[in-house]
Amino acid sequence: MKNLKYCCFPKTVEEAVKLLNDKKHKSIAVAGGTLIAKSIGDLIEQYVDIRYLPLKDIKVSGGDLIIGALCAFDEIDDNPLAKKWASGVLSKAASKCSSQLVRNMATIGGNIAKPHSFNIFPALLCALNAKVKVAFLKGTEIYPMEDIYNTDFPHKLGSNSIITEIIIPAYIKKCAANYEKFAKTQACWESYASCAFSLSLIKGKVEKPRVFVGSLSPKPIRLEAAEGIVSNQKLSSEIIEEAMEAFIGNLDILKLSTVNIGFKKEVASIMFKRFLLSVLEGKI
């Protein structure tokens, strides 16, 4: 931070993106700042404070739920629309992030643009099959949420482009979904394991299941083998046990090197089992 020369307060997304692409100065976008403020290196010469951009709406458009990237966690937690979607999982997850003071500052855009194992929204939004709208110098484009964590993703979020909107598809509104985090305390940002799930129940059969694990790697992990077991099936105790085994097997293949991985995998699989049981029992 000691080489910081400029701090800009753009009023439009276009201005912000232009500033980020200014070749003269190494720039970084800052919004809530909770993830990056303490770790901004000395190379940065220009802050682009995007906090005042008009990206704070939560609305329904064409049936989809649109969340402005600058919505803070507390705004999502309190939002009536967010509470209505997918069993209120967005609000529930937002309320599980760290402490209220952090929730007042941290934004959903920042949470997904700067992936970290303990971030809540990467795994959840992947589970909700969300898309993100990214603004860059030549315009805007919409990408599936999972793509932004691929190594070939064409933009550097926060450095030459910014996320403007998160789009949650209309079908998710009626889905059963859940987000669970296992941590030392509820206000603890760090967690041992976290999971996000969603599925549709059509005539008693599971459709479009999406199972993601967080905390075990900086990027959310999709467990397709576990999804495959429950897909197009009527849930039963046997199917749930089988899905749990597939869930652990799926994680085993990934050879994750986190500390106490065996314990964490077990915790995550129990979260998955509980989710499926609550769907079976009609609790979600």
Hey, what are 41's tokens? Answer: 């290196």
Which span (34-42, 138-146, 156-164, 244-252) binds other proteins, by CB under 8 A?
Answer: 34-42
Residue window 7-26: x/- pattern of binding to other proteins, with contact defined by CB under 8 A: xxxxx---x--xx-------
- Within 10 angstroms of residue 257's Cβ, the number of other Cβ atoms is 8
For other proteins, which residue of 41, 54, 61, 100 counts as binding (CB under 8 A)? 100
| Residue 120 in the binding site for other proteins (CB under 8 A) | no
Only segment of 44-52, 157-165, 206-214, 217-225 that touches other proteins (CB under 8 A): 44-52
Long-range contacts of range 205-208, CB-CB < 8 Å, 24 or more positions apart?
205/232, 205/233, 205/234, 206/230, 206/231, 206/232, 206/233, 206/234, 206/235, 206/279, 207/231, 207/232, 208/129, 208/171, 208/175
The structure tokens listed for 196 are 């996000």
Q: Is 102 in the site for other proteins (CB under 8 A)?
A: yes
Selected from 4, 170, 183, 261, the binder of other proteins by CB under 8 A is: 4
Position 237 contacts other proteins (CB under 8 A): no
Q: What is the Cα–Cα distance from 171 to 148, expressed in whole angstroms?
A: 22
> By the 8 A CB rule, do 217 and 127 touch?
no
> Which residues are CB-neighbours of 232 under 8 A, at least 6 positions away?
205, 206, 207
Q: Does 242 bind other proteins (CB under 8 A)?
A: no
Pairing of strands 205-214, 58-61: unpaired
Considering only 99, 232, 236, 260, the residue that binds other proteins (CB under 8 A) is: 99
Among 13, 20, 29, 30, binds other proteins (CB under 8 A): 30
Nearest in space to 28 (alpha carbons), one of 6, 14, 48: 48
In the stretch 170-209, what mask flags binding to other proteins with x, by CB under 8 A?
A: ----------------xx----------------------
Query: x/- string (CB under 8 A) for other proteins, residues 58-97?
Result: --------------x-x--------------------x--
For 40, other C-beta atoms within 10 Å of its C-beta total: 14
Q: Which of 2, 24, 138, 255 binds other proteins (CB under 8 A)?
A: 2
How many angstroms separate the CA atoms of 245 and 23, rounded?
51
Applying CB under 8 A, the residues found at the interface with other proteins are: 1-11, 15, 18-19, 30, 33-34, 37-38, 40, 47, 49, 51, 72, 74, 95, 98-102, 104-105, 186-187
